[in-house]
């Protein structure tokens, strides 16, 4: 029945209650609550929350001096240094839209993004000046450039202004909120593995809520210390820059990912939290030389990880070194983490194998996410039986507005009121989501579906295996069969391909075992994801070779 409006007549939102949600409020509050507390550590440099807020306001003022207006795009090309942390607040304080650039792209890839987003200003860290010059050389209308840090600049950046000088000369911008909480705050470009990248447009409302959700799920507080191992350009660092301001958490910069540096920084800076892609987590867990000893009794560190589910072997290795791994799942179009494998008290009674199985699930929605489900081809939720496969879908305030200048892709991805992820999964009776595969990665052998992730999980449990990826290769009789690409540990035994096939057969139905095992380093995207498309192509070439069996 309709809501009884007459009983509540006159009670409508007013300026006292209707305030746009924006992460900008977090920085203002942090500067008020913890003005003298260290907000950012970058080597020998320290910025308090008052310093950090002042620098962000001055950046907004410097952008205004460059004629940046509301709705303009400001790009930033920087590793995990103060520049990118400041840009996440300074750019939206100017009313502009932040475009964090992937530092692992080449000049042509960056040029495409700068042109497509129509960036008006480019903020560059001096360590990436040559890459920036390469990108700008491919543009007919290059943006104005501010360079932070010291070092010689290439000829292509001869006209660039100095970032610190611009901040010193700027009038600090006043605190401001967007006119609407649905105004864009960032445009983040996907990795573009199947064509040109798409610009994912995020809004202030979603950024505010995603930051609070991630603050809650990681347990960030004002006495926490967060190490920037996750690229801050990737999904806005999973909204981590905004979340740190909400919690008053000290952020420790790390310009380059190196497992020895990470473990030493954890010890030296009393790190309590970090986030990392699975590949980085594997690196951390497999280094022993030149790092402090860690064991189950060490000061605990919470590690948020996303992407592929951490295998049982990874979870066991992490626990043995005092790391508490929180497994999350999401995508750029949903501000990064969207679900979490929330632990249940009843899991304490499970056998190790059962515990590993439930901990590898992608879990339940974060607190700010309205719903997560699995849809059949007609767009209906599948039964929560742990078996019926469908496409994983999200709904809620932490879903993108759409793709920049791409209405067709927007309509397809947001069809039926859901964000379609392209991932295949199941819902278990307890409501926990489990990803089975990307739709394009499922292997159909003799009419039977084989999850590449399931086979990879079993392979990773072999003591000699560091990483594994499984893809479909053509088969003359079955249509497709699994092919495994495996990286072995440097210091372990060397199994044969037959040994690994037998290992899988001991743990799974025989038809799921790979018919081919290739030993090699695994190719990865700029964000650390395994390039399965490249491996599928390699598997096709191998299968087509005359000597292939």
In this structure, the answer to whether residues 403 and 265 fall within a common structural domain is yes
Tokens (6 digits) for 459: 């392979």
Between 167 and 352, the higher pLDDT residue = 167
Q: Three-state DSSP class for 367?
A: coil
**pLDDT 10s digits, 234-254:** 999 999 999 999 999 999 999
pLDDT for position 355: 84
In this structure, the answer to whether residues 342 and 454 fall within a common structural domain is no
In this structure, the answer to whether residues 519 and 409 fall within a common structural domain is no
In this structure, the answer to whether residues 141 and 263 fall within a common structural domain is no
In this structure, the answer to whether residues 146 and 294 fall within a common structural domain is no
**pLDDT 10s digits, 418-429:** 999 988 899 999
Torsion angle (degrees, nearest 10) of CA 360, 198, 110, 398: -60
pLDDT for position 462: 92
CATH number at residue 157: 3.40.50.980
In this structure, the answer to whether residues 125 and 270 fall within a common structural domain is no
Alpha-carbon span 161 to 178, nearest angstrom: 28
In this structure, the answer to whether residues 63 and 94 fall within a common structural domain is yes
- Least trusted range by pLDDT, from 39-43, 299-303, 347-351, 380-384: 347-351
Alpha-carbon span 327 to 324, nearest angstrom: 10
Q: Is the pLDDT of residue 163 over 80?
A: yes
Quickly state the pLDDT bin for 36 (edges 50, 70, 90). very high
- The residue count of the chain comes to 549
In this structure, the answer to whether residues 162 and 304 fall within a common structural domain is no
pLDDT for position 194: 46
How many other CB atoms sit within 10 Å of the CB of residue 236? 26
Domain-embedded: residue 274 = yes
Q: Is the pLDDT of residue 310 over 90?
A: no
Between 3 and 157, the higher pLDDT residue = 157
- Least trusted range by pLDDT, from 17-21, 224-228, 231-235, 311-315: 311-315
Tokens (6 digits) for 519: 């030993």
pLDDT for position 71: 96
Quickly state the pLDDT bin for 193 (edges 50, 70, 90). very low
Between 93 and 450, the higher pLDDT residue = 93
- Least trusted range by pLDDT, from 36-40, 157-161, 482-486: 157-161
Residue 244 is inside which H or E element, if any?
helix 240-247
In this structure, are residues 388 and 99 in contact, taking their beta carbons and an 8 Å threshold?
A: no
Q: Is the pLDDT of residue 311 over 50?
A: yes
In this structure, the answer to whether residues 325 and 405 fall within a common structural domain is yes
Q: Is the pLDDT of residue 441 over 70?
A: yes
Alpha-carbon span 443 to 478, nearest angstrom: 11
Half-sphere exposure of residue 64, counting CA atoms within 13 Å on the CB side? 17
Quickly state the pLDDT bin for 195 (edges 50, 70, 90). low
Domain-embedded: residue 522 = yes
Mean pLDDT across the chain:
92
Domain-embedded: residue 4 = no
Alpha-carbon span 4 to 198, nearest angstrom: 44
**pLDDT 10s digits, 64-75:** 999 999 999 999
Between 335 and 507, the higher pLDDT residue = 335
**pLDDT 10s digits, 348-385:** 898 877 887 888 889 999 999 999 999 999 999 999 99
Q: Is the pLDDT of residue 390 over 70?
A: yes
Cβ neighbours of residue 458 closer than 8 Å, sequence gap 6 or more: 503, 504, 507, 508
In this structure, the answer to whether residues 371 and 475 fall within a common structural domain is no
pLDDT for position 352: 79
Domain-embedded: residue 391 = yes
Q: Three-state DSSP class for 44?
A: coil
Quickly state the pLDDT bin for 306 (edges 50, 70, 90). confident
Domain-embedded: residue 207 = no
- Among 118-132, 466-480, 535-549, the range with the most confident prediction by mean pLDDT is 118-132
Q: Is 176 exposed, middle or buried (0-12, 13-18, 19+ CB in 10 A)?
A: middle
Question: What is the pLDDT averaged over residues 163-185?
Answer: 97
User: Regarding beta strands 225-227 and 250-252, do their DSSP bridges make them parallel or antiparallel, or are they unpaired?
Assistant: parallel
Cβ neighbours of residue 334 closer than 8 Å, sequence gap 6 or more: 369, 394, 398, 399, 400, 419
Quickly state the pLDDT bin for 452 (edges 50, 70, 90). confident
- CA proximity to 81, closest of 237, 280, 221: 237
Question: What is the pLDDT averaged over residues 216-223?
Answer: 98
CATH number at residue 280: 3.40.50.12780
Picking from 403, 438, 473, the residue at the C-terminal end of a domain is: 438
- Least trusted range by pLDDT, from 115-124, 149-158, 351-360: 351-360
Between 194 and 163, the higher pLDDT residue = 163
Picking from 438, 456, 491, the residue at the C-terminal end of a domain is: 438
In this structure, the answer to whether residues 388 and 423 fall within a common structural domain is yes
Contacts of 543-547 with C-beta under 8 Å, sequence gap 24+, read 543/473, 543/474, 543/475, 543/483, 543/516, 544/474
DSSP 273-290: EEEE-HHHHHHHHT--TT
User: Regarding beta strands 369-375 and 390-396, do their DSSP bridges make them parallel or antiparallel, or are they unpaired?
Assistant: antiparallel
Half-sphere exposure of residue 254, counting CA atoms within 13 Å on the CB side? 27
Quickly state the pLDDT bin for 158 (edges 50, 70, 90). confident
In this structure, the answer to whether residues 289 and 348 fall within a common structural domain is yes
Domain-embedded: residue 363 = yes
Q: Is the pLDDT of residue 465 over 60?
A: yes
Quickly state the pLDDT bin for 448 (edges 50, 70, 90). low
In this structure, are residues 207 and 236 in contact, taking their beta carbons and an 8 Å threshold?
A: yes
Q: How many domains does the chain have?
A: 3
Alpha-carbon span 534 to 256, nearest angstrom: 26
Quickly state the pLDDT bin for 464 (edges 50, 70, 90). very high
Domain that holds residue 424: 257-438
Between 344 and 197, the higher pLDDT residue = 344
Tokens (6 digits) for 407: 């209405």
Domain-embedded: residue 15 = no
Picking from 438, 455, 472, the residue at the C-terminal end of a domain is: 438
Tokens (6 digits) for 436: 């089975």
């Amino acid at each position: 029945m309709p809501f009884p409006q007459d009983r509540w007549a006159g009670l409508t939102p007013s300026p006292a209650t209707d305030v746009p949600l924006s992460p900008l409020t977090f920085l203002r509050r942090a500067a008020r609550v913890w003005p003298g507390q260290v907000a950012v550590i970058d080597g020998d440099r320290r910025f308090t929350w008052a310093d950090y807020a002042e620098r962000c306001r001055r950046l907004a003022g410097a952008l205004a001096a460059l004629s940046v207006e509301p709705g303009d795009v400001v790009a930033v090309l920087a590793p995990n240094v103060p520049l990118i942390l400041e840009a996440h607040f300074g750019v939206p304080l100017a009313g502009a839209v932040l475009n964090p650039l992937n530092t692992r792209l080449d000049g042509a890839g960056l040029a495409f993004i700068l042109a497509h987003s129509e960036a008006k200003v480019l903020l560059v860290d001096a360590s990436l000046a040559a890459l920036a010059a390469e990108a700008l050389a491919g543009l007919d209308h290059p943006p104005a450039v501010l360079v932070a840090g010291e070092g010689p600049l290439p000829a292509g950046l001869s006209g660039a202004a100095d970032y610190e000088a611009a901040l010193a000369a700027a009038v600090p911008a006043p605190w401001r909120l967007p006119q609407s909480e649905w105004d864009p705050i960032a445009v983040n470009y996907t990795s573009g593995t199947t064509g040109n990248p798409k610009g994912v447009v995020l809004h202030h409302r979603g950024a505010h809520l995603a930051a609070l959700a991630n603050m809650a799920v990681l347990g960030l507080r004002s006495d926490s210390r967060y190490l920037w191992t996750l690229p801050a350009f990737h999904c806005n660092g999973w909204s981590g820059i905004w979340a740190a301001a909400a919690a008053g958490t000290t952020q420790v910069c790390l310009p380059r990912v190196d497992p020895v540096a990470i473990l030493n920084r954890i010890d030296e800076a009393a790190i309590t939290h970090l986030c990392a892609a699975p590949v980085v987590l594997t690196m951390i867990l497999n280094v022993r030389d030149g790092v402090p000893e860690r064991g189950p009794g060490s000061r605990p560190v919470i590690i948020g990880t996303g992407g592929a589910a951490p295998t049982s072997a990874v979870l066991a290795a992490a626990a043995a070194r005092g790391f508490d791994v929180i497994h999350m799942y999401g995508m750029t179009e949903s501000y990064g983490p969207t679900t979490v494998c929330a632990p249940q008290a009843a899991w304490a009674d499970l056998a190790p194998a059962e515990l590993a199985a439930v901990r590898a699930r992608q879990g339940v929605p974060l607190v700010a996410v309205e719903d997560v489900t699995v849809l059949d081809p007609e767009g209906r939720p599948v039964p929560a039986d742990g078996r019926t496969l469908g496409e994983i879908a999200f709904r809620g305030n932490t879903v993108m507005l759409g793709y920049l200048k791409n209405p067709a892709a927007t309509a397809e991805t947001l069809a039926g009121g859901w964000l379609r992820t392209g991932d295949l999964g199941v819902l278990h009776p307890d409501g926990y989501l489990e990803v089975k595969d990307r739709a394009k990665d499922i292997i159909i052998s003799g009419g039977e579906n084989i999850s590449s992730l399931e086979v990879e999980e079993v392979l990773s449990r072999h003591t000699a295996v560091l990483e594994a990826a499984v893809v479909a290769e053509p088969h003359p009789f079955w249509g497709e069969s699994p092919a495994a690409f495996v990286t072995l540990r440097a210091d372990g035994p060397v199994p044969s391909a037959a040994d690994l096939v037998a290992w899988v057969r001991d743990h799974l139905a025989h038809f799921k075992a790979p018919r081919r095992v290739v030993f090699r380093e695994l190719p990865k995207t700029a964000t650390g994801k395994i390039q399965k498309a490249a491996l599928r192509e390699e598997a096709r070439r191998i299968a087509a070779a005359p000597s292939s069996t």
